Amino acid sequence: MVVEPTHISTASSFIPPPAPGERPTEYADRIGEYHVATKSESHRKQHGLYLTPVAAADFMAAQIQAAGDRLRVLDPAAGTGILCCATIEELANRDTSPSSVELVAYEIDAELTEPLEAVLEYLRQWCREEHEVELDVRIESADFVMALGEALRRKDSLIPPEPDDGEFDIAISNPPYFKISKSDPRAVLASTVVYGQPNIYALFMAVSAALVRPGGDFISITPRSFTSGLYFRQFRRIFFDLVQPTLVHAFGSRREAFERDDVLQENVILRGTRLKTPPDDRQAPLVISSSRGVRDLDESCRRGTTLDAAIDLDDRDRVLRLPVSEQDARVLDLVDSWPNTLASLGLGISTGPVVPFRAQDLVDREGQVPDSHVPLLWMNHVRPMQVTWPLNRHKPEYIKRQGAEKLLLPNRNYVLLRRFTAKEEARRLSAAPYVAQSMPVPQVGLENHLNYIYRHAGSLTREEAWGLAALYNSRLLDTYFRCLNGHTQVNATELRAMPLPANDFIVELGERVKQLDNPIDYLDPLIAGILSADTSRKSVVGHG
């Protein structure tokens, strides 16, 4: 039986009707495009309004494992219902479909209420007339986190939901993402799982997970930034006690997952099973899949691994590592076998102490070096294996010596690393040796967007500075870092934890690299040669 399309209109709006035989998911997508086209960029950012591509929604719905005659589904950020429809279609199209489904859809944007109602009414008719499935729809025009965030008020054991809310068999979502202040009522309510200035999507993930019954499905598409970093550490501790990942899908392109909305973001789809107690099976199977974007989801590369290969549940950071290929996995194994860290080598890492807007009276566009001023280095001055100063650009490149004593560093050998990389850049890590001899000054200023590595007692040798910078610029450590890090910020915390080889290896690498005119072009074969003559290890860095 075919559902007859009807025009849905009100005095204030016109909603295009479904086309004959149109899938509910495609109708929801079409209504979404129709709605988004009328909204400004600022409105979309304020509400985190980025439509789930139909291909991604279908991929997510295909991961559902929950089964039964009666099922309850939660979508905490329904938008125009694309994910809702894909989910219900997946359930209704099964050989043994449920006889009834209850769908609870939260959407706080009042302007989406009518479009969502129209889409879900069509979905309800489609279920009944095409599949004899009764769909009970409840739309909640409320802030999801404020409405149900009480489930997170105790971090050690989550309280059960209220009887009216019950437990859900499936929670599936594309939550909004934008930062909120730590004083925001939602952040206060969810203070057990967030730290600092949190991103709203993590709150949606945590509350949704708390509302799924043990054994039920949790499925989300979000930025990858929750997988690592200090700000999400507490979230990961709670979340991975609630949800055991069974599949993680990574998009290789930052642009192509949400290209329609011109979003430049590294995204992942996570499917997991809600746990009754914290996980104890470290060898539980996990699938890591990947595609460039949504268009090639059907040809995703998949590799099987185990939970403990992706998450060390005994580590307080609980970083989710995503080696999407066998080569990535070999890189992780190799680097993890290295015996050192910065600390064990007697080294430290800090952030540049000069925050220009707080030191406006001290920074200048011109200056007498070294009489009254010393160089002020910004990210622009640091390129792979090269520090160039001055650049004579619009930013102040000098800092006064008098008055800035607490902000200046002694002129010693350092390794400088950019704290941020552009989202489209091929390499995440960018480092250069700073050799004191290159600048005849007593001190140097480092702007806050740089990290610097130093020796606690004394100074790095030139060979150590060159060798470390070469390692951080290598394909080897860039691959390792990308497996762990899901955002463009390069944090000192993550670099402190990164394994490093023996100091003899670093010195030998430095001695060779500093003699080259264009060292960046030769780093990977140099490192492969020093590491081992073994072919398998050379292949790890791409030179076998």
Is it the case that residue 151 has pLDDT exceeding 80? no
Query: Per the domain annotation, does 307 fall within a domain?
Result: no
Helix (H, G, I), strand (E, B) or coil at 484: helix
pLDDT tens digits, residue range 105-119? 999 998 899 999 999
Query: Per the domain annotation, does 57 fall within a domain?
Result: no
Q: How large is the average pLDDT for residues 200-218? A: 95
**Residue 527 belongs to a domain with what CATH number?**
3.90.220.10
pLDDT at residue number 426: 66
Which pLDDT band holds residue 485 (cuts at 50, 70, 90)? confident
Task: Please state, rounded to an integer, the average pLDDT across all residues of the chain.
Answer: 88
Structure tokens of 170? Answer: 């499936």
Query: Per the domain annotation, does 427 fall within a domain?
Result: yes
Query: Per the domain annotation, does 379 fall within a domain?
Result: yes
Is it the case that residue 7 has pLDDT exceeding 60? no
Label residues 442-478 b or e (16+ Cβ within 10 Å = b).
ebbbbbbbbbbbbbeeeebbbbbbbbbbbbbbbbbbb
pLDDT tens digits, residue range 176-194? 988 888 889 998 888 888 7
Which pLDDT band holds residue 156 (cuts at 50, 70, 90)? very low
How distant, in Å, are the alpha carbons of 43, 67, 195, 221, 499 from that of 432?
Answer: 41, 55, 32, 36, 19
Burial of residue 325, with CB atoms counted within 10 A of its CB: 0-12 exposed, 13-18 middle, 19 or more buried: middle
Q: Is the pTM of this model over 0.85?
A: yes
Which pLDDT band holds residue 272 (cuts at 50, 70, 90)? very high
Query: Per the domain annotation, does 446 fall within a domain?
Result: yes
Neighbours of 327 (CB within 10 A): 14
Query: Per the domain annotation, does 392 fall within a domain?
Result: yes
Q: How large is the average pLDDT for residues 252-266? A: 58
pLDDT at residue number 493: 86
The answer to whether 346 and 415 are in contact (CB under 8 A) is no
Is it the case that residue 486 has pLDDT exceeding 60? yes
- Residue 463: give the domain boundaries: 343-540
Query: Per the domain annotation, does 408 fall within a domain?
Result: yes
pLDDT tens digits, residue range 331-372? 999 999 999 999 999 999 999 999 999 999 999 999 999 999
Query: Per the domain annotation, does 406 fall within a domain?
Result: yes
| CA proximity to 350, closest of 495, 224, 500, 460 | 495
- Total number of domains in the chain: 1
pLDDT at residue number 536: 45
pLDDT at residue number 71: 98
